[in-house]
Structure 1
Amino acid sequence: MSTMNESFAALFGHAPDGCFAAPGRVNLIGEHTDYNDGYVLPFAIDRVARIAVKIRHSAEPRTLRVASTMGGDVIEVDLGTLVAEDVTPWARYIAGVFWAFEQKGFTLPGADILLDSTVPIGAGLSSSAAIECSVALALNEMLHLGLGREELVLLCQNAENNFVGAPTGTLDQSASLLSTADHALFLDCRTRESRQVNLPLEAEGLQILVIDTRVSHAHDSGGYKELVEACTRGARELGVPALRDVGPERLPEAKQRLHPDIYRRVRHIVTENQRVLDTIEQLDASGPAAIGDLLLASHASMRDDFGISCEELDLAVDAAMAAGALGARMTGGGFGGSAIALVESSQAQAVSERVLKDFAEAGYTTPEIFAVVPGPGAQKL
């Protein structure tokens, strides 16, 4: 952390009080089910957003100053008149957490924050939640605010939904704050109950490769909001609080009652919830090598029913499978981003080379491919 501390001192003229980190995540399975009160199975990855923080207790007015190791000017935000539109877009994920704490009745002092992140932006690995969760944990611990991690999940979701303007569920923040190493996190998004599910990749001679297509996506774009609206409409027309309450047995009825476009979105959510439960059953009974077919079925559902894949993601999945992957799927919100491939460790290089070859032949941007392991949640460094 010495380089981070030195950069902080050079920018702000004093040393930080502390440094914190929160991870990005891979969603193993369970896509777009979170805001439908459903089930998800993410895990934290070993790529993190790190922040160095100095609390400025005596400074008036209450000013938040933020900077990034990626460069650019120091951004100043008046905490007394905090409005999202007045904040540089990337800094909204930091300022939004201050806003969300104030919404809960906390009056926060000013602060200086330097951000450094190894979570690829726009890759569907939740770089935004990693930033939010690192800031929330830092403020909660440094100011002794006393919130539990489950409360911080909801606080960060509030920041993303109502300050940044992205209508996401709690999947990303839960993975970043609640995960433990070598486990996936099974989360019931209605009850917010969770449990750790053993995911011993290294012990089983397996890896999960992330294939970042370099096709950027953003949760605050119109496409994501339209999907949320389609799911809400489907639940309303089926007379249930959320699509979580629609079981597979109701799909024939739903097909008769709903517009075809709405029905396809509903079918994805219903079948994806079941795939999450089936994946956990397979992991508990047989280990991660047994879940490949479920990953493939999830990708097909997102491609054909939910409509959130793209040519690059489909090629990544097809190329990985052709090279011997056990299973593969797109992961994250869609409209670009990343795919994941479950591979035997001995096949990782061959899978990577085949994906790179097929992307080059198709004339697509060269993807970034790297292995991830299930890591711990947010922590003080």
Structure 2
Amino acid sequence: MNNALITSLNERRIPQPTYQAAFAVSEAVDLHFKKHFNIARLNAVQELAPEPSVEVIEAIIDVAFWASLGREEGHSPKISLAFLPEEMAGMPLVFKHRLPFKTQNLTKLAPAVERPGIHLGIWIEDGELYLWGTTREIPGLCFVLEVVEPGLLVVKHRRIDGLGKFVNVATLKGDQIKVVDEISQNASERPPIINSLLGFTSHYSNNDADSINVLVQLATAMRAHGRGGAVLVVPADTDNWRDSIIHPITYPVVSAFSGLSDLTKQIDQEKNLLLWQNMLRQAVDSVGGLTAVDGATVINDRHELLAFGAKIGRSWKSKRVDQIVLTEPVIGSSASVIHPATLGGTRHLSAAQFVFDQRDAVALVASQDGRFTVFAWSPPENMVHAHQIDILLL
């Protein structure tokens, strides 16, 4: 009898959620997982996590939400919960006595598992969810719920190939629900970084390099330092981008630093994947730290670092950008045409101007409050398109 059937038989006694948003979002989350599990099975993907049911999704969200509002020794809990049995986890730490999946147990355990990459394991038996231990390794498509801050939860799952950031499915903040829209009208015009964050990059191919998007890692790093920042991604075969930069550049690089570029080329030869991932993370963090310096960090599309602390100025060949289109990859949201100054401060306005001038470039902008925007030129709309992607980076 497979895990999905066992789960279905056991879950019938799970109590109804008292957090109404858990009930409201569960069907959309269930549809997301059904779709991706079906695709994985059609592609004969092995070692998949158990598929969560609507009842399990509701119950985990419900308990986690109420736990997020508690405090342990003055600290709010930050927890990552993974739905799988202990035998499917890699090198798990297993409790001698399983613990009921209750709010008070999550609050008590939170200080021990708040470091990134550690998950509290949840499984079900005789209709009751329980905590069995912790793990750092989980299988593909494993349902994960992260408690980010009081009242803020993110539903996500591990990528099939296990590389890169988890794929976000939905966020819940109090009674506000946002479900990621995987299929939108502007899908063909999305920059590659957004497709990667949505989980569209080569899940089922044998080429691991295809599923690594360094810009995703860089976006996560620049958002994490909390100081705000901007990255300009320019073509490697032209210097036209310099027309939109005020000279002299504060911190130019004498010759293009190729640390990130070299690492992205090494994956096919690197036998120790974990070592390679750690090296890439360190290189990304090094470049990500530069984005905290006032001004923009400039890299080319080969991921070579060209400069940081660069001040953006309008090109002498161009005019001022006066409108952009703004979208968010959320079901039910609609596009709006706005003046770029209404989106944020000088950093957003200058990034929009840069992409308006340099239409083969992309600009990534992180705000101090956690908002993250990708600016790219849209030929169909004939204007700069601002993709607000906070929901994909939590």
Give the TM-score normalised by the residue count of structure 2: 0.30
Bigger relative CO (Cα 8 Å, ≥ 6 apart): 1
Give the TM-score normalised by the residue count of structure 1: 0.31
Identify, as 1 or 2, the structure richer in helix: 1
Q: Which has the larger Rg?
A: 2
